[in-house]
């Protein structure tokens, strides 16, 4: 199966699982907003969970954890888009949740998606891995991970001097990298395997992903990315592109993907889908 087909298949399974869970929720605006926030998207984080587990022989038990990651990611996007954060009008080619409804609905929908993620990780199919998965997702998404990265990003907007390359790298390790790392490690946790190789893979992949986001903010267009582009440059914000130059950023991203592929060497041919995912990271248009 080709990488796009595998990515789409996993995304469809995850979406169906999330819809089955939400079918028991009340017919309320906040639940409609949750569904809206979950629609579309590449599903790369959920894919990493599914494929990592499949590679290690635990693919039949990974779906709840993959759905949890996608719910957590959707919450982060809803909140990041708010006027008090990144103040975005578009997400995945559609109005952001607070634009379609209102800010209160967006806050509550994000809150509910976050708690849904942890509810999903209590699924008995995950067995003894449940506690480790809950703890890992909490660390990745909280004030030592994604939330910290977002806080540092907001603080940088009013800082006296632009961030250095090391500071941006540390910021993005939280804002983007932490959840990607958890997604890659989750399959090993479910399978009861050593997560170290997948952790190294994810650390390189996560940084390359953010560098490529910065490239797309310069080279991309709104129709392809589904969100505003050029806003970082307009705000005078320090990015990997502003510090490394466009070609330098592309070269750094490519080198990181090579590192990610090398980290998968213990799995030999079994890691083909994860290698494809890494290469996709720096070829995507959105």
- Domain segments of the chain: what residues? 3-281
Tens-place pLDDT, residues 162-211: 899 999 999 999 999 999 999 999 999 999 999 999 999 999 999 999 99
Stretch 15-34: mean pLDDT, rounded?
98
Domain 3-281 carries which CATH code? 1.10.600.10
**What residues have CB less than 8 Å from 250, skipping those under 6 apart?**
215, 282
Give the pairing of strands 90-91 and 94-95. antiparallel
The torsion angles phi and psi of 109, rounded to 5 degrees, stand at -65, -40
Q: What distances in angstroms separate CA 118 from CA 86, 122, 125, 137, one per listed residue? A: 25, 7, 14, 8
Contact 41, 72 (CB under 8 A): no
Helix (H, G, I), strand (E, B), or coil: what is residue 94? strand
SS (H, E, C) 24-54: CCCCCHHHHHHHHHHCCCCCHHHHHHHHHHH
CB atoms within 10 A of CB 39: 11
* pLDDT, position 230: 64
pTM: 0.94
Tens-place pLDDT, residues 253-277: 999 999 999 999 999 889 999 999 9
Query: Helices in the chain by DSSP H: which ranges?
Result: 3-22, 29-38, 44-55, 63-80, 97-100, 103-120, 130-141, 146-156, 165-172, 178-191, 196-219, 222-225, 231-234, 240-244, 246-263, 272-281
What are 107's two structure tokens?
């806050």
The CA distance from 44 to 245, in Å, is: 27
């Amino acid at each position: 199966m080709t990488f796009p087909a595998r990515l789409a298949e996993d995304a469809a399974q995850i979406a169906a699982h999330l819809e089955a869970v939400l079918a028991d929720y009340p017919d309320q605006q906040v639940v409609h907003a949750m569904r809206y926030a979950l629609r579309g998207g590449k599903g790369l984080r959920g894919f990493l969970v599914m494929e990592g587990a499949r590679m290690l022989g635990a693919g039949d038990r990974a779906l709840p954890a993959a759905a949890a990651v996608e719910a957590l990611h959707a919450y982060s996007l809803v909140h990041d888009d708010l006027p008090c954060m990144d103040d975005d009008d578009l997400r995945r080619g559609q109005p952001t949740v607070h634009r379609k409804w209102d800010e209160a609905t967006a806050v509550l929908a994000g809150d509910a998606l976050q708690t849904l993620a942890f509810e999903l990780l209590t699924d008995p199919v995950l067995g003894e891995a449940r506690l480790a998965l809950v703890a890992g997702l909490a660390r990745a998404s909280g004030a030592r991970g994604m939330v910290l990265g977002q806080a540092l990003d907001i603080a940088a907007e009013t800082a006296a001097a632009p961030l250095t390359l090391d500071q941006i790298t540390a910021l993005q390790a939280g804002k983007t990298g932490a959840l990607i790392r958890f997604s890659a490690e989750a399959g090993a946790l479910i399978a009861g395997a050593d997560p170290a190789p997948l952790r190294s893979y994810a650390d390189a992949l996560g940084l390359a992903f953010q560098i490529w986001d910065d490239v797309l903010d310069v080279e991309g267009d709104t129709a392809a990315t589904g969100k505003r582009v050029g806003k970082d440059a307009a705000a005078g914000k320090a990015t990997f592109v502003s510090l490394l130059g466009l070609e330098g950023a592309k070269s750094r991203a490519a080198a990181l993907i090579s590192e990610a592929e090398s980290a998968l060497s213990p799995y030999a041919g079994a890691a083909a889908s994860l290698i494809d995912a890494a290469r996709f990271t720096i070829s995507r248009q959105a």
